Amino acid sequence: MSELKKQTVEDGIMNSGLSENMQKYMLDFIVFLKDNEFSVETETGDDGIGWKIVYMNECVGHMNFADVGIWIDTCDFGGSGSADDALKEATWAHVRVCEHFSSGGKRCGCGSQPGFSKTIFGKKFENLCFALLEFVNPDAKTIEDIKKLMSLFKQNRLKKVSEAAMRFLRGKYMLDEVSSGPDEVSFRDGEQTILTIYIRDGHYDFQIGESMVRVSGMESLEEAKRLVLARKEPNRTPFPKEAALQSRCGMRCDLCVHYAGGTISKEFKRELQERIARVYGGDNLAEWDSCPGCGEQEAGKVHPCMGGGSCWELKCAAEKGHARCQDCNEYDNDCRPWVGYARGIEARSISAEDVTWAILPFVGDQYGN
């Protein structure tokens, strides 16, 4: 067994007795994985040696050349709009319902009883196995589909890292964001640069003082956050909570330029209009509608805050039978980071005051403020 463990995955493919075509498909898949920063490691089980697919220390899938299959443990590919219809249909066709729930009652040994509830490309599935997707005897087309899924997984993970970085920086600090090129943005307290983020292909480089941290996952982001906290104490003052009025998705109505409840003076509203125009674009400040608040707003109707469209969050909550987004068990994991201004790391300049008044009121729970 110890000798088997020493073999490479390429050796495993060549010595497995697979057909010539299947060897070609699998070897091509391994090249793709390694080119995209996935690693392939051995694992042992009741059926001998298998292989696990790992990304940033997280196991995301498995391969076995005896059963000739690829099993994917994640569905973190992004929302419904991140894939075309063909890829969505192909993915849904390979969803693996746990055999604990099969008609024969056969136990598959995955340990996932009572099964997982997952939403994959906007479609909800119940009682899924630990290995959410199963591809047995994949052909060339199926291998290409799996590659697309792995690429979407990597892109979505990096997007989440980007969003988490900005929630930390904007939630903890009041800093000017200054772009000095298409691929970099610095965060400054007056003349002092606290950190500079360089936007790379597939990762970010965080320069914090003399230290440079390559950030491509949550673990490396935590390292960068520790260095930022050591370099400067958080300096953002939370918004007053005494008269706070929140929308159904966690925005601060009482700080919103659209709100008609009289919580903002005419002078300050004009200032907010100018700040919002700088951040979001647009200069026709004379045509700002007034919002009565979510309590007076019907789901699916034109909403002043949505540029003449309807509020997606309000409609989603109503369809799920909730009065507020926060009442849904999917809010914390799936929705809170995307409420309001949802952009991550970007090479653009925004003043600290514009972040405070044109961004924070419009994100869920104001990044903790």
Report pLDDT digits (tens) over 18-37. 999 999 999 999 999 999 99
State residue 235's pLDDT score.
96
Mean residue pLDDT of the chain comes to 84
Report pLDDT digits (tens) over 279-334. 888 665 545 667 777 666 565 566 655 555 556 667 777 777 877 777 776 665 55
242-253: average pLDDT: 82
Q: 86: burial class by Cβ within 10 Å (0-12, 13-18, 19+)?
A: exposed
Beta bridge partners of 208: 211
3-class SS of residue 97: strand
Rounded to whole angstroms, the Cα distance separating 114 from 123 reads 20
Asked if 139 and 150 count as a contact pair (C-beta separation under 8 A), the reply is: no
DSSP sequence for 143-180: HHHHHHHHHHHHHHHHHHHHHHHHHHHHHH---EEEEE
Q: Read off the tokens for 320.
A: 């799920």
Query: What is the Cα gyration radius of the chain?
Result: 24
Rounded to whole angstroms, the Cα distance separating 193 from 186 reads 7
Asked if 149 and 134 count as a contact pair (C-beta separation under 8 A), the reply is: no
State residue 317's pLDDT score.
75
| CA distances from residue 213 to 72, 154, 155, 203, 276 in whole angstroms, order as listed | 30, 19, 19, 10, 33
Among 125, 146, 123, 124, residue whose Cα is nearest residue 134: 146
State residue 105's pLDDT score.
44
Q: Using 50, 70 and 90 to split pLDDT, how confident is the model at 74?
A: very high
